[in-house]
């Protein structure tokens, strides 16, 4: 009868040869040094700021800003506060990012699909676009659009006149302003009703298909409800929309809606740059769907359009969505390059002008970083939810 | 019977004349065009449209950069020509674009640093070169020291100290990229290991660092480094104005590098960890000898594409007053002596070409590596 004798393990025989003990030790060391670093930085920062007369509070938030911003979507003037300037920056950043995301997605999908075209020249042109745009810094592209393309345009008096009362000059693109008259609201209501009708019909069509296998023409009915219904109401109430064409008065245009060159350059640059990355994502996503899937769908008698819509695209999307999300976030972060060409985004207004005027570097930077972090977090959450809907349901 | 049928008038004993293969598998240019350019009417229309577009773009580019360009002469010739590029402008500004205001007599030091760097990088990347680990050691440890001594100068070595205010141009761009590469890889590896660590506190610190840095734009990180770093430390420790963006770029790209390395660590089968542990190796030995060599090799394409992003991001340092290559182009472009109509376009075209050559070269290298791995795994 053999008995292995083990040394009695007491609670107190802690040894550095025990991995758990070492783990705890490492973490205590890490926590200690981090804490020491943070505390010393905090003390040093507070004393440095006091020595330089920099405010330590957020009191500047409600002070009058005193500078003007030429492009705002929300009310703002020189008498507004720094807090209001902050919100102008946030809204402008979101505005250019959202428009950029829409344009970049459209262009990116077109270029990505074109790269897979069986037509040799189409594929080569798309590939050249991607290779050229992707390998040149975004800042260089923005500067090119702004300084070499949009700025040398003629002055307002010598504007290039485009059809439809649109003028192009070095102050931007001036387009007719849309004016809504009485009854315009009913067109909007009709559109809303059309949208609801679409959803109802789709629900109905799905139930009919589940029950009988019969397919109803969802697309045609939806289009009729979405476009036809508002159009009928539009003419019934007597075209309640008119356009105010811009007019040249003195050195500038009156009336009409102005698209500033800073905004246009940023939008073009961001969309074109991000589209080249999205194109690569779309291409690899579609290529990753096995060919057998398409062949099997064809063997089942699905038409090419349906094969694409019901078999290839859902599987490709599953691969495309996660990297696409990070491209959307990149575009939003890259919109901060606005500061180089003078579009008033969050960084330009808040981390630029407000920081310089108030000197409150720590507070301003903390707020700016939190905004970008919040945007990242919300976008990831939305796209993750979207992704979950498309993800493979495994047993 | 068989003999009869052979001579039957119905049997044709002569061979059939060869016919051309169907056009789909023919090799002639006409067949190729029919298959790849005009397979359907729609495809034919696309071919015509896109050929016209490509030809027009190419013609515009060539006529601007070559046919209508000013090749010889000076400011007057450029001012008189509104259609083409002004290459004498680039020739005159070439030294400024490369060195910034670095003293002319000391520029050999910049050249020497770049040559040493280029040799080490080729040694490191060329697959058949001997002793590549020595190259890695030299590049990641010795080279930064040598570069610092050469570029900044040490008075006791008879190399006058050059203030960083004078540095500029391509020198700054390459310096930023190399510093980013040299520091982001090791820090990124540490962060990736920390993120996969079993110690909750280590993991939390690494996750927070990586996610926060990846969630904010590089410009804000540069702003932080520039405005807040001087507040964080006592006055006598305030980092040099060039050092602040260097720290920012190293930390920023290390967060991205960490995610690339993490992907590689996750791709290593669990059996590798377990086998190494069963052999009684310690954590650091396992990582150094078993896991990291495999993980880093898998993610070389990802590492290279992070470097490409880093290289393009160096353009943003202009926001904190560092005269990098693009900033030098901007400064040269607004020189009143060269106020020609095409100066801006020429400058941007040249800058675009320089950046494109670097980035495209790197991406081609990474694609070649990818193909190599694909071959290796298939065998």
Q: Which residue has the higher pLDDT, A176 or B193?
A: B193
Q: Which residue has the tokens 């090419």?
A: A304
- Report pLDDT for B2: 47
Say if A65 falls within a structural domain. Answer: no
Over range A308-315, report the average pLDDT.
86
CA distances from B194 to A28, A292, B140, B206, B305 (A): 15, 41, 21, 6, 23
Which residues from chain B sit within 8 angstroms of residue A110, using beta carbons? none
Q: What is the mean pLDDT of residues B29-50?
A: 85
Cβ of residue A125 closer than 8 Å to a chain B Cβ: yes
The burial class, CB within 10 Å (0-12 / 13-18 / 19+), for B327 is buried
Instruction: Indicate the helix (H) or strand (E) that contains B262.
Output: helix B243-267
Interface test with A, best of B46, B49, B195, B217 (most A CBs within 10 A): B217
Q: How many CA atoms lie within 13 A of B32 on its CB side?
A: 5
Tell me the nearest-neighbour CA distance from B20 into chain A, angstroms: 24
CB contact under 8 A, B220 and A147: no
* A43 to chain B: closest CA residue: B232
Which chain A positions have a beta carbon within 8 Å of B224's beta carbon? 365, 369
Chain B nearest-CA residue for A120: B36
Instruction: Among B199, B313, B356, select the one facing A23 at the smallest CB separation.
Output: B199
Task: Report how far residue B32's alpha carbon sits from residue B26's, in angstroms, rounded to the nearest whole number.
Answer: 8
Contacts of B313 in chain A (CB under 8 A): 137
Do B352 and A144 count as a contact with CB atoms less than 8 A apart? yes
What pLDDT was estimated at residue A394? 54
Residues pairing with A169 in the sheet: A172
Min distance B276 CA to chain A CA atoms (Å): 16
Quick check: B378 pLDDT over 70? Answer: no
Which range marks the domain in which residue A129 is found?
A: 82-156+260-390
Q: Over 50: is that where the pLDDT of A108 sits?
A: yes
Task: Decide if A119 and B47 are in contact by the 8 Å CB cutoff.
Answer: yes
| DSSP notation for A304-372 | HHHIIIIIIHHHHHHHHHHHHHHHHHHHHHHGGGHHHHT---HIIIIIIIIHHHH--HHHHHHHHHHHH
Does B217 contact A372 at a Cβ distance shorter than 8 Å?
A: yes
Nearest to A372 among B43, B216, B356 (CB): B216
What rounded mean pLDDT belongs to chain A? 86
Are A111 and A350 in contact, with CB atoms under 8 Å apart?
no
- Asked if the C-beta of A200 comes within 8 angstroms of chain B's C-beta atoms, the answer is no
Q: From the CA of B69, how many Å to the nearest CA of chain A?
A: 17
Do residues B167 and B242 touch, judged by C-beta distance below 8 A? Answer: yes
Domain spans, chain B? 168-378
Closest chain B residue to A54 measured between Cα atoms?
Answer: B231
Instruction: Please state, in angstroms and rounded to a whole number, the distance separating the CA atoms of residues A123 and A112.
Output: 9
CATH of domain B168-378: 1.10.3720.10
Residue scoring higher pLDDT (A216 or A250): A216
What percentage of chain A carries pLDDT values higher than 70? 94
Q: Does A136 touch chain B (CB under 8 A)?
A: yes
Report which of residues A227 and A334 the model is more confident about: A334
Q: What's the pLDDT score for residue B7? A: 58
Nearest chain B residue to A369 by CA: give it.
B216
Residue A339 at interface with chain B, using a CB cutoff of 8 Å: yes
pLDDT of residue B23: 65
Confidence of residue B214 (pLDDT cuts 50, 70, 90): very high
Q: CA triplet B106, B107, B113: central angle to 5 degrees?
A: 110
CB nearest B205 (choices: A30, A41, A355): A30
Q: What is the pLDDT of residues A114-136, one digit of tens each?
A: 998 888 999 999 999 999 999 99
pLDDT at B379 exceeding the cut of 60: no
Average pLDDT value for residue range B118-132? 84
A358 in a domain, yes or no?
yes
- Give the pLDDT band (50/70/90) at residue A1: very low
Q: What is the mean pLDDT of residues B280-297?
A: 89
Give the per-residue pLDDT at A8: 53
Cβ–Cβ under 8 Å, residues B293 and B305: no
Identify the pLDDT of residue A9: 54
Closest listed residue to residue B61, CA positions, set B372, B320, B348 = B348
- Chain B touched by A127 (CB under 8 Å): no
pLDDT at A12 over 60: no
Q: Do B345 and A148 touch (CB under 8 A)?
A: yes
Q: Is the pLDDT of residue B216 over 90?
A: yes
Measured CA to CA, the distance from residue A170 to residue A149 in angstroms comes to 9
Q: Of A202 and B373, which is predicted with more confidence? A: A202
Is residue A282 domain-resident? yes
Contact status of A212 with chain B (Cβ, < 8 Å): no
B352 to A136: CB separation less than 8 angstroms, yes or no: yes
* Cβ <8 Å between B37 and A372: no
- Residue A168 in 3-state DSSP? strand
For residue B47, the chain A residues in CB contact (below 8 A) are 119, 121-122
Question: Quick one: pLDDT at residue B194?
Answer: 93
The model's pLDDT over B310-369, given as tens digits with 9 standing for 90+, comes to 999 999 999 888 889 999 999 998 888 888 888 889 999 999 999 999 999 999 988 888
- What is the tens place of the pLDDT at every residue in A203-228? 999 999 888 888 888 888 888 888 88
Average pLDDT over residues A293-316: 88
The whole-number pLDDT of residue B248 equals 94
Distance from CA of B297 to the nearest CA of A (A): 22
Nearest CA in chain B to A376: B215
- Contacts (Cβ under 8 Å, ≥6 apart) of B141: none
Please indicate whether, in this complex, the C-beta atoms of A27 and B53 are within 8 angstroms of each other: no
Query: Chain B contact for A140, CB < 8 A?
Result: yes
Q: Is the pLDDT reported for residue B223 higher than 80? A: yes
Say which CATH number the domain at A103 has: 1.10.3720.10
The number of domains in chain A is 1
pLDDT of residue A104: 96
* CA dist., res. B18 & res. B20, Å (int): 7
């Amino acid at each position: 009868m053999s008995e292995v004798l083990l040394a009695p393990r007491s609670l107190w025989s802690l040894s550095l040869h025990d991995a758990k003990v070492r783990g705890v030790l490492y973490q205590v060391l890490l926590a200690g040094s981090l804490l020491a670093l943070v505390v010393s930085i905090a003390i040093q920062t507070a004393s440095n700021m006091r020595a330089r007369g920099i405010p330590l509070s957020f009191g500047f938030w409600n002070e009058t800003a005193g500078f003007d911003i030429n492009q705002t979507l929300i009310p703002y003037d020189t008498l507004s506060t720094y807090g209001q300037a902050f919100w102008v920056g946030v809204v402008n950043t979101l505005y250019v990012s959202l428009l950029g995301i829409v344009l970049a997605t459209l262009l990116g999908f077109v270029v990505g699909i074109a790269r897979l075209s069986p037509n040799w020249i189409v594929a080569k042109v798309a590939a050249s676009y991607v290779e050229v745009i992707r390998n040149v810094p975004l800042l260089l592209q923005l500067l090119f659009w702004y300084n070499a393309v949009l700025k040398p345009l003629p002055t307002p008096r010598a504007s290039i006149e485009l059809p439809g009362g649109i003028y192009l000059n070095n102050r931007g693109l001036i387009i007719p302003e849309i004016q809504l008259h009485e009854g315009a609201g009913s067109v909007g209501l009709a559109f809303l009703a059309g949208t609801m009708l679409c959803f109802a019909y789709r629900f109905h069509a799905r139930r009919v298909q589940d029950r009988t296998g019969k397919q109803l023409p969802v697309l045609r009915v939806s289009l009729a409800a979405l476009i036809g219904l508002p159009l009928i109401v539009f003419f019934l109430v007597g075209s309640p929309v008119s356009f105010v064409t811009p007019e040249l008065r003195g050195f500038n245009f009156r009336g009409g809606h102005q698209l500033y060159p800073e905004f246009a350059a940023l939008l073009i640059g961001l969309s074109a740059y991000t589209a080249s990355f999205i194109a690569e994502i779309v291409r690899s996503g579609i290529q990753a769907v096995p060919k057998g899937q398409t062949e099997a769908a064809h063997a089942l008698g699905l038409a090419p359009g349906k094969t694409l819509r019901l078999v290839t695209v859902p599987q490709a999307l599953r691969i495309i969505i996660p990297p696409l999300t990070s491209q959307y976030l990149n575009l939003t972060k890259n919109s901060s390059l606005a500061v180089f060409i003078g579009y008033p985004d969050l960084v330009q207004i808040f981390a630029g002008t407000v920081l310089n005027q108030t000197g409150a570097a720590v507070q301003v930077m903390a707020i700016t970083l939190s905004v970008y972090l919040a945007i990242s977090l919300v976008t990831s959450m939305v796209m993750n939810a979207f992704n979950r809907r498309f993800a493979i349901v495994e047993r | 019977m068989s003999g009869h049928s052979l001579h039957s008038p119905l049997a044709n004993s002569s061979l059939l004349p060869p016919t051309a293969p169907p056009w789909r598998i023919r090799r002639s240019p006409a067949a190729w065009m029919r298959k790849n350019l005009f397979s359907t009417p729609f495809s034919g229309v696309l071919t015509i449209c896109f050929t016209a577009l490509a030809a027009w773009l190419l013609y515009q580019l060539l006529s601007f950069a070559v046919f209508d360009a000013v090749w010889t002469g000076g400011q007057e010739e450029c001012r008189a020509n509104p259609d083409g590029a002004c290459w004498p402008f680039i020739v005159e500004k070439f030294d400024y674009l490369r060195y910034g205001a670095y003293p002319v007599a000391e520029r050999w030091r910049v050249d020497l640093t770049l040559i040493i760097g280029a040799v080490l990088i080729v040694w490191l990347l060329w697959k058949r070169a001997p002793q590549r680990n020595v190259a890695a050691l030299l590049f990641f440890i010795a080279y930064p020291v040598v570069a610092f001594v050469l570029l900044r100068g040490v008075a006791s070595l008879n190399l006058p100290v050059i203030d960083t205010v004078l540095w500029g141009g391509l020198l700054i761009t390459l310096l930023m990229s190399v510093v980013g590469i040299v520091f982001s890889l090791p820090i990124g590896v540490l962060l990736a290991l920390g993120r996969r660590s079993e110690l909750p506190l280590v993991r939390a610190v690494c996750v927070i660092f990586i996610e926060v840095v990846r969630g904010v734009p590089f410009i804000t990180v540069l702003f932080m480094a520039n405005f807040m770093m001087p507040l964080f430390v006592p006055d006598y420790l305030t980092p040099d104005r060039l050092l602040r963006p260097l720290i920012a770029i190293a930390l920023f790209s290390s967060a991205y590098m960490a995610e690339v390395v993490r992907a590689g660590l996750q791709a290593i089968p669990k059996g590798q960890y377990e086998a190494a542990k069963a052999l009684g190796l310690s954590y650091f030995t396992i990582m150094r000898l078993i896991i990291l060599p495999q993980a880093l090799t898998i993610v070389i394409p990802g590492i290279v594409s992070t470097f490409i992003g880093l290289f393009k991001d160096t353009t943003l340092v202009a926001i904190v007053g560092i005269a990098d290559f693009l900033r030098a182009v901007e400064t040269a472009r607004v020189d009143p002596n060269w106020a020609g109509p095409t100066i801006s376009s020429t400058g941007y075209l040249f800058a675009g070409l320089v950046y494109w050559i670097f980035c495209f070269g790197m991406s081609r290298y990474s694609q070649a590596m990818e193909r190599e791995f694909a071959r290796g795994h298939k065998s």
